[in-house]
């Protein structure tokens, strides 16, 4: 079982929507999340941002996914100020620096290249940047930067952006969240699984191309059209094929896109032996109510 981690998040001004400083206990790295309209407030954090670092410019939420731009700078705050006039899409920035002087130009160039690789592989946010080959570092420095990346990934997630996390979570053993689920309807066949932040439909699954009036009224039509526009759903004869793993907000949203009609995902998605997602969840709830908490803690 993986060990837990402690994260401190400081709300500058006591506002959850304002500038936030995040750090992991016993780590020299740090992160600052700042809304675009509050960039001037970074002046209060000069010691944290007037040094080498990497940053994420993050756009507004849209139907399918958000845009992000990754960059590096020897003076992080100066580059962010330039982006106020050079980049219009972003609404907030997350800056990563170090509390000591150990991040060099070579380190942040390495981090930038690796972050772009990981963000593209994760596929959660749209990243219109070419991948770069990470600079060659001594082995000790490279390992230190890989550790930095892992800690940065945790802080990003704690700040609400799982940019570097794969869409499909690693299975945790006997937990129902690691079970593959299936949904077949009128020639379309999809496979997926429950994720911590929704429901994932796997690459290679198919969906019906036609849509019904109910999906137009529910808002899922725009979601389906967005996936087609992004190239995540491609026309294959009378069907649409998933070209990558796709994370949906719920099992019902996933089922609606596959079916082209309103659908209850908790009863549509089933295991190979016919057990519905609803039944799996009820079994889990029953174990909690019966006092089998020790079993659950072992699974998690």
Q: Rounded to whole angstroms, how far apart are CA atoms 142 and 128?
A: 26
Q: Are residues 135 and 73 in the same domain?
A: yes
Q: Are residues 203 and 236 in the same domain?
A: yes
Q: Are residues 103 and 69 in the same domain?
A: yes
Model pLDDT, residue 212: 85
Q: Rounded to whole angstroms, how far apart are CA atoms 159 and 21?
A: 9
Q: Are residues 180 and 262 in the same domain?
A: yes
Q: Are residues 278 and 221 in the same domain?
A: yes
SS3 193: strand
Which of 94, 125, 158 is where one domain is finished? 158
Sequence-separated contacts (24+) of 183-190 with Cβ below 8 Å:
183/254, 183/255, 183/258, 183/259, 183/268, 183/269, 183/270, 185/258, 185/259, 185/268, 187/238, 187/239, 188/239, 188/258, 188/259, 190/242, 190/254, 190/258
Q: Rounded to whole angstroms, how far apart are CA atoms 230 and 234?
A: 9
Q: Are residues 113 and 214 in the same domain?
A: no
What pLDDT tens digit does each residue of the chain (300 aa) get? 678 999 999 999 899 999 999 999 999 999 999 999 999 999 999 999 999 999 999 999 887 779 999 999 999 999 999 999 988 999 999 999 999 988 999 999 999 999 999 999 998 999 989 888 899 999 999 999 999 999 999 999 999 999 999 987 654 444 555 789 999 999 999 999 999 889 999 999 999 998 887 777 677 888 999 999 999 999 998 899 999 999 999 999 999 999 999 899 999 999 999 999 999 999 888 877 665 444 544 544
Q: Which residue has the tokens 């959850």?
A: 16
Q: Are residues 130 and 267 in the same domain?
A: no
- Does 1 map to a domain? no
Helix 105-122 and helix 139-158: axis angle, to 10°?
A: 50
Q: Cα dist. 29→10, 147, 213, 252 in Å?
A: 15, 10, 51, 39
Domain count for the chain, please give it.
2
Q: Are residues 139 and 232 in the same domain?
A: no
- Does 167 map to a domain? no
Domain interval for residue 268:
176-299
Q: Are residues 135 and 214 in the same domain?
A: no
- Does 73 map to a domain? yes
Which of 128, 158, 188 is where one domain is finished? 158
């Amino acid at each position: 079982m993986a060990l837990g981690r402690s994260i401190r998040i400081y709300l500058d001004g006591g506002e959850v929507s304002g500038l936030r400083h995040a750090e992991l206990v016993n780590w020299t790295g740090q992160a600052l999340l700042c809304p675009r309209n509050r960039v001037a407030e970074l002046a209060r954090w000069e010691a944290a941002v007037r040094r080498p670092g990497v940053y994420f410019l993050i756009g507004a939420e849209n139907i399918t996914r958000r845009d992000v731009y990754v960059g590096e700078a020897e003076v992080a705050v100066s580059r962010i100020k330039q982006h106020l006039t050079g980049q219009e899409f972003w609404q907030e920035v997350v800056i990563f620096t170090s509390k000591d002087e150990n991040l060099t130009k070579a380190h942040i160039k390495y981090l930038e290249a690796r972050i772009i690789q990981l963000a593209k592989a994760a596929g959660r946010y749209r990243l219109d940047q070419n991948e770069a080959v990470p600079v060659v570092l001594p082995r000790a420095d490279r390992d230190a930067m890989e550790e930095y990346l892992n800690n940065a990934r945790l802080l990003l997630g704690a700040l609400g952006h799982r940019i570097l996390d794969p869409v499909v979570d690693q299975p945790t053993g006997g937990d129902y969240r690691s079970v593959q689920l299936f949904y077949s309807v009128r020639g379309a066949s999809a496979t997926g699984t429950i994720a911590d932040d929704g429901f994932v439909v796997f690459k290679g699954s198919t969906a019906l191309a036609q849509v019904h009036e109910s999906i137009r009224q529910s808002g899922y039509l725009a979601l389906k059209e967005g996936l087609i526009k992004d190239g995540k759903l491609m026309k294959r004869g009378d069907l649409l094929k998933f070209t990558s793993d796709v994370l949906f907000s719920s099992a019902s949203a996933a089922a609606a896109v596959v079916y082209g009609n309103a659908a209850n995902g908790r009863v549509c998605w089933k295991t190979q032996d016919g057990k519905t997602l609803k039944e799996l969840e009820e079994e889990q709830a029953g174990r909690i109510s019966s006092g089998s908490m020790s079993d659950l803690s072992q699974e998690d």
